Amino acid sequence: MPYLDRSIYENEFNRPAKIYCAIALLRSGLRVYDLHPEVSDVPVQTRVARANRAGVKLLATFAYNAFGSGRTFNAVSGVLTYYSGYSRFPAASRELAEDIYAAIVSRSLQTDGKGVSTLDDVGVLRSVNCPSALIEAGFMTNLREARLMLDPDWRKSIGYAAAIGICDYADISYVDEGNPAAYPAVAPGNRNSYVEIAQYYLTLRGFPVKADGIFGNDTESAVKAFQNMNGPEPDGIIGRQTWTKLVLPSPSAYILRTGSTGSAVSYLQLKLLSKLYPLAADGIFGEETENALKLFQTESGLEPDGIAGPLTFSALGTLMSPRDE
C-alpha cells in the first residue's frame, strides 16, 4: 500500500467484520458458531467439515475480492454476494445472498452494489449442509476499498448490515446496538449470550479470548487487562463503564492527546491507518500517533495541534482521504 509501505491482508477486514456480525446476531437472539476462530488460515475443507459436524442452520462467509493481475490498483469496486446453484439448498442460498446484499447496500457504508451471483465450485457454498452465502465486501485491488479494509467504521457497518440481512432471511427481528451502559453486567461464573458478546468485543479490542459464553479465568484476565488500559479499576466485572468502553458507541466524543490510552485511541489509530498514515494501532497515544495525526490535520486543512477533537474526528469520519490518488 502506498504510504503504509506494507500489504493489507484479507483477514484484516474479514475477521473484525465477522466478529461484528456475530455480536449483532447474538444481540438479536441467534446462536453463533465461528468456523474459523483462528487468526491463521484454515483450509476450506476444514471449515466445511466443522460446519457440517456442528449442524449449523445457515452459513455466511466474509471475504474481499480482487480483479486483474494484483500488481496495480484499478477502478473495479463494489460488494457482491454469492451462492452456489449446486448446493443442497440453492433456492434458500440465493435468498440468503440476496437478503444480505440488500442489507449491505442499504444499511452500511458500502453502497457500491454490484449484485448477487453464483460461484459453483467454492466449498463453503457448495459442500455445506445448509443455505450458504459468500460476502465479497469490496476489492483489494481498488485503492480506496483496500485502505477501507482498515477502517473500523467500514468493518462494523458491513458486519452489522450482514447480520440485518441474516435476520431478514430468518424472519427474526434485528436488535440494534443500543446503549451499552444498559447491557446487563456480567461477572466471573456467568454463562450467557452477553458473556459471549463481551468475549467477542475483547477480541476486537486486542484482548483475545475464546468466545464460548463462559466467564472463566481467561475471560476475567482479559477483562482486567482491558480495564487496566481503559479504566475503571480492574475488578474483572463488566458493568456500565466497561461495556461502554468495549462497545465504543461514540468514539468521536472523546478528546484524545498524547498520553491517552484505550479503545478510543485504537479507533483513532485505525482511522489514520485507513487514510494511509502509517502508525501502530496499539491503543497508546505516543509520539508516533501524534506525528501521524498532525500530518493528517495539516493535509486536511486543520490546525495541526496533535489533539483529536470534534473537528479532527469529523474529518476522520468521512470515507475520503487526503492521500487518495
Structural domain includes residue 322: no
Quickly tell me which residue has 472463566 as its cell. Answer: 216
Last residue within a domain, chosen from 170, 199, 231: 170
Tell me the backbone φ, ψ of residue 68, rounded to 5 degrees. 90, -160
pLDDT band of 178, cuts 50, 70, 90: very high
Three-class HEC string of 104-132: HHHHCCCCCEEEEEECCCCHHHHCCCCCE
pLDDT band of 313, cuts 50, 70, 90: very high
Mark whether 98 and 201 lie in a shared domain. no
Question: Residue 241 belongs to a domain with what CATH number?
Answer: 1.10.101.10
Q: Are 142 and 75 in contact (CB under 8 A)?
A: yes
pLDDT at residue number 102: 99
Closest Cα partner for 63 from 4, 123, 1, 2?
A: 123
- pLDDT surpasses 90 at 70: no
Three-state secondary-structure class, residue 136:
strand
Cell reading at 195 = 458473556
pLDDT band of 232, cuts 50, 70, 90: confident
H/E element, 134: strand 132-139
Query: What amino acid occupies position 1?
Result: M
Q: How far apart are CA 130 and CA 124, in angstroms?
A: 10
Mark whether 137 and 267 lie in a shared domain. no
Domain count, the chain: 3
- pLDDT surpasses 80 at 283: yes
What is the residue range of 298's domain? 252-316
Last residue within a domain, chosen from 170, 192, 220: 170
- pLDDT surpasses 80 at 325: no
Q: What is the pTM of this model?
A: 0.97
Please give the DSSP secondary-structure letter assigned to residue 235: -
- pLDDT surpasses 90 at 317: yes
